[in-house]
Structure 1
């Protein structure tokens, strides 16, 4: 993936640019990601919050993460597009949702996490590591 990552919501109300290199790219199969994405898993690019600028005002909601800490999910209040996930365990990192990326071609997942919650009909890639929870 390129050094500059950009994207936004479906209606254009929220835009973001990240100028730092991704820390990781992953697929998360936890139940919360399934519900918040409306899919069997959520894919994301983990980046440093300090490298990311957001224009517009996303809505947020908080849930208790598997760590016991708070996870904050951001979305567009106009169109509902899921955008970011941040956790209080590692507050300087956030995950940008794959579906909101302008250039999705550079996304290459490095790991599948929370595979203990993966749907039995999802075929996990044998080319990347799998973790039953978060490593």
Structure 2
């Protein structure tokens, strides 16, 4: 079974995920753009029972365009958002893709809020033969 480790920039928050993610997705909503400082957010969702969380977090609760609430956990020292929970899916933990700092993590297969996508961004072309 694959074990993956994620952390904030300073290393105070640590996340360990066992097994493969349930889903890896890109979100183009304006809130993710503001949260990440990028043109989209990327998350890897894992079943809660496969995730071990460590470190002290501060939280921010946001109501999304769909009306659902998400609780974001970020580092009070360096400010990195590392993981979040969804009221609508309490069995899942979403981990910020970049927090893994691992180029071997599979690419996203889902893209949401594409009506807000910057026109120069594209979903990766999936070459299944070369994904490890």
2:85 aligns with 86
Residues in 2 aligned to 1:126 and 1:17: alpha-carbon distance in whole angstroms? 28
In 1, Cα distance between equivalents of 2:123 and 2:99: 22
| CA offsets 1:92-116 (integer angstroms, 9 cap, x no match) | 1121101110423223111111111
- Structure 1 residues not aligned, in runs of 5+: 129-135
CA distance in 2, matches of 1:125, 1:104: 14
- SS of the counterpart of 1:92? strand
Match of 1:28 in 2: 27
- Residue 4 of structure 1: CA displacement? 1.1
Q: Which has the higher strand share?
A: 2
**Structure 2 regions of 5+ residues with no counterpart?**
128-132
Q: What are the superposed Cα offsets for residues 17-40 of structure 1, whole Å, 9 maximum, x if unpaired?
A: 011321011111111111111100
Q: How many residues align?
A: 127
1:62-106 residue CA offsets vs partner (Å, 9 max, x unmatched):
010222121111111100111112210111112110111042322
Distance in 1 between residues matched to 2:16 and 2:125, nearest whole Å: 32
Partner of 2:9: 10
CA–CA distance in 2 between the matches of 1:104 and 1:83?
A: 17
Contact conserved, 1:20 with 1:48, CA < 8 A, in 2?
A: no
TM-score (norm 2): 0.87
| Counterpart-to-counterpart distance in 1, 2:85 and 2:6 | 17
Task: Indicate the RMSD between aligned Cα atoms, in angstroms.
Answer: 1.8
Partner of 2:60: 61
- Runs (4+) of structure 1 exceeding 4 A deviation are none
